[in-house]
């Protein structure tokens, strides 16, 4: 087995640097990474990283690769050479109260790229409880963004309370939103995309929107209310002002599902919630089992992320493109030929 592997770690200046890392011991699960998607949360991980860590943190949490080493007590379901993925949640502990069935809410699990090393690397150590089986019909590059952007929006729509035929509004058509549009259409909702500017209108319709609302030209809440209102609004953006403008379009018993994390609070009138039994909920990604269901649904329904690929060595440029908004809609890092990664 190789004694080192290449990784992109966070430098003392807050950027990324290519380094060699030693491989882990025999009792750890080792994955030869084939693809790792770049998520908006990676940017926050890089900016907020503790630069005193030695070795510094490796970002990335949309990881797909093959198992090349299994530690002791690893469940028999996982085999050498098997293609697996790991999402934002790095594996539950099986000890806290939430691990009695709410594994995604485990209090003791690592967060890839933030509290443990992620997938901007040729290899990655992973907890067995965080592993996700990857369907053969998805390439590693296609599967990677589904492990975060896919499951986040898929689960949020399932929690929204909307049923087939109901109107669902997707606020923000980016890395998350472009997946949400596809899932919402395949689930049978009347899908309304809400964005700023007409440059995204054509893509929004192609991705599944029945209607696109450009907030530069229309009052989005009024437009939605003319359609009868929205049973659910899924927001992928962190701007509370933009969210509040849209909330008057929620129907009685409608739900606002929050995915976008912002710095500022989201002020909501209690009377608005109580008077029509509306609700505001947050939604985290999901457990490995839920991730597998998302992947399977993506295969069944033909949902795929829109991606561009870049090699690991260009991770810094890929991150820059994400920051600038040039990416459309997801960038995936590739590690080259990993056929002999265990040699």
Q: What pLDDT, on a 0 to 100 scale, did the predictor assign at position 139?
A: 98
pLDDT per residue over 121-173, tens digit each? 999 999 999 999 999 999 999 999 999 999 999 999 999 999 999 999 999 99
Distances (CA, A) of 341 to 30, 37, 68, 259, 295: 11, 20, 8, 36, 25
Q: What pLDDT, on a 0 to 100 scale, did the predictor assign at position 4?
A: 77
For the entire predicted model, the pTM comes to 0.92
β-pairing, 230-235 vs 250-258, is parallel
Across residues 7-19, what is the average pLDDT?
87
pLDDT per residue over 315-343, tens digit each? 999 999 999 988 889 999 999 876 666 66
Which pairs count as long-range contacts for 11-15, CB under 8 Å and 24+ apart, including other chains?
A: 11/51, 11/56, 12/51, 12/56, 14/46, 14/47, 14/49, 14/51, 15/46, 15/316
Query: Helix axis angle, 315-324 relative to 40-48, nearest 10°?
Result: 110
Q: Which of 105, 111, 116, 107 is nearest to 89 (CA)?
A: 111
CATH top-level class for 150-282?
Answer: alpha beta
Q: Which of 92, 152, 103 is nearest to 128 (CA)?
A: 92
Q: What pLDDT, on a 0 to 100 scale, did the predictor assign at position 22?
A: 66
Q: Is the pLDDT of residue 3 over 70?
A: no
Across residues 53-68, what is the average pLDDT?
93
pLDDT per residue over 183-217, tens digit each? 999 999 999 999 999 999 999 999 999 999 999 99
Q: What DSSP string runs through 73-90?
A: T--TT--TT-EEEE-SB-
| pLDDT band per the 50, 70, 90 thresholds, residue 27 | very low
Q: What pLDDT, on a 0 to 100 scale, did the predictor assign at position 21?
A: 77
Q: d(Cα 181, Cα 87) in Å, to the nearest integer? A: 21
Question: What do you get for the CA distance between the two ends of the chain, in Å?
Answer: 4
Across residues 240-259, what is the average pLDDT?
96
Q: What pLDDT, on a 0 to 100 scale, did the predictor assign at position 20?
A: 87
Q: d(Cα 127, Cα 154) in Å, to the nearest integer? A: 24
Query: Tokens in use for 205?
Result: 């319709």
Q: d(Cα 280, Cα 60) in Å, to the nearest integer? A: 29
Q: What pLDDT, on a 0 to 100 scale, did the predictor assign at position 54?
A: 79
Neighbouring CB atoms inside 10 A of 310's CB total: 18
Q: Is the pLDDT of residue 25 over 60?
A: no
CATH top-level class for 4-134+306-334?
Answer: alpha beta
Q: What pLDDT, on a 0 to 100 scale, did the predictor assign at position 179?
A: 98
Segments making up each domain of the chain, as ranges: 4-134+306-334, 150-282
Across residues 210-225, what is the average pLDDT?
97
Across residues 84-110, what is the average pLDDT?
93
Q: What pLDDT, on a 0 to 100 scale, did the predictor assign at position 19?
A: 87
Neighbouring CB atoms inside 10 A of 269's CB total: 11
């Amino acid at each position: 087995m190789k004694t080192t592997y290449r990784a992109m770690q966070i430098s003392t200046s807050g950027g990324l640097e290519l380094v060699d890392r030693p491989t882990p011991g025999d009792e750890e699960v080792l994955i030869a990474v084939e693809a790792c998607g770049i998520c908006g949360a990676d940017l926050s991980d890089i900016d907020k990283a503790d630069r005193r860590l030695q070795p510094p943190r490796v970002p990335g949490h949309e990881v797909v690769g093959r198992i090349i080493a299994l530690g002791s007590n690893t469940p028999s379901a996982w085999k050498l050479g098997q293609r697996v993925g790991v999402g934002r949640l790095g594996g539950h502990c099986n000890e806290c109260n939430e691990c009695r069935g709410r594994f995604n809410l485990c209090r003791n699990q690592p967060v890839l790229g933030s509290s443990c090393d992620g997938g901007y690397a040729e290899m990655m150590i992973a907890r067995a409880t965080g592993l996700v089986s990857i369907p053969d019909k998805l390439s590693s590059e296609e599967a990677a963004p589904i492990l975060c952007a896919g499951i986040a929006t898929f689960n949020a729509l399932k929690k929204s309370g909307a049923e087939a035929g109901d109107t669902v509004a997707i606020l923000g058509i980016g890395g998350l939103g472009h997946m949400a549009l596809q899932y919402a259409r395949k689930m049978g909702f009347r899908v309304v995309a809400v964005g700023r500017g007409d440059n995204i209108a054509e893509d929004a319709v192609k991705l599944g929107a029945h209607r696109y609302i450009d907030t530069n030209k229309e009052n989005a809440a009024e437009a939605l209310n003319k359609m009868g209102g929205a049973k659910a609004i899924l927001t992928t953006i962190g701007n509370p002002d933009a969210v509040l403008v849209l909330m008057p379009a929620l129907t009685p018993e409608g739900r606002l599902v929050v995915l976008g994390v912002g710095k500022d609070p989201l002020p909501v009138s209690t009377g608005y919630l109580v008077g029509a039994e509306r609700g505001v909920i947050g939604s985290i990604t999901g457990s490995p089992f839920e991730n597998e269901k998302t992947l399977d649904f993506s295969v069944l329904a033909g949902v795929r992320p829109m991606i561009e690929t870049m090699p690991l060595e260009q991770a810094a440029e890929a991150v820059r493109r994400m920051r600038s908004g040039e990416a459309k809609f997801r960038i995936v890092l590739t590690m080259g030929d990993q056929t002999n990664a265990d040699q």
